[in-house]
Structure formats: C-alpha cells, structure tokens
Amino acid sequence: MADREVQAAFAEGGTVMTFHNADVAGDKFVYAADVCIIVRNNHTAAQTVTVNVPPGSASVKDRTKGTLAKQNIVLSVPASGQAVIPPLPAIFRNSSDLNKVSLTYSAVTALSVAFVKVKP
C-alpha cells in the first residue's frame, strides 16, 4: 500500500489539488476528522473504491441500539466520473497502523485519488 499525504484545501484564493494514481495494493493516509477523499475515474468502465474498517473495529456501541456492525464504505465511481467521500468517523482509523485509513480498489486503470483537509 502506498502512503499518501493529506493536502490542505482551505486557502481563501482556492487550492489546486494533486491527484495520485491509485496504487494496485491500495492507498493509506493518516486519519483526521476533516479529510475528504476525492476520486477521479478516467477509465471507460466503473471502478469501485473501498474504505476499509480496520481489523478489530467492526462494531460500535450505540446507547440506544446496542452493538452495531460497522461496514466498509464501498463506492462505485462511474466511467469518466468523479466522487467525493466525506470526512470519515474515527472507526476507520487503524490505531495499530499509526492511525492510518486504508483504501482498496477493484482496479486502478486511470483511477486517481486526492486526500484533502477541508478545515484550517
């Protein structure tokens, strides 16, 4: 998996984002509560992005509903399309991997990603 940097995108005059080619083994970034994931698919077919719940974090306790299973986020990005995954809850942070969030892909042909901090 490739470690990716989070970019700041809150400059008053705007920010030019740097996209990275999706890594065949997946990508990781350090968790922060204000980071969005932007995915750009320039392929002629849809591709799937999965944000993985870390091992051992597959459930959350709700005060009214008890223990609930937390699922991976699975998003199909259409051909020639873009998608945004909003800031993630802390359950996606892997404390045994330096608080990183991991993503995997169904394919990586013409797929690129950017990790963007949206608050100063």
Q: What is the pLDDT of residue 45?
A: 97
Report pLDDT digits (tens) over 10-27.
778 888 899 999 999 999
Residue numbers of the domain that contains 49: 2-117
Sign of CA dihedral 17, 107, 105, 82: positive
Contacts of 3 (CB under 8 A, 6+ apart): 27, 28, 29, 100
- Hunting for tokens 């992005």 — which residue is that? 49
Q: What is the pLDDT of residue 59?
A: 73
pLDDT value at 80 more than 70? yes
pLDDT value at 29 more than 90? yes
Q: What mean pLDDT, rounded, does the chain reach?
A: 92
pLDDT-based confidence at 62, cuts 50/70/90?
Answer: confident
Q: What is the pLDDT of residue 48?
A: 98
DSSP tag of 95: G
Instruction: Tally the domains of the chain.
Output: 1
What is the C-alpha separation between 57 and 54, in angstroms, rounded?
6
Q: What is the mean pLDDT of the segment spanning 41-69?
A: 87
User: Model-level pTM?
Assistant: 0.88
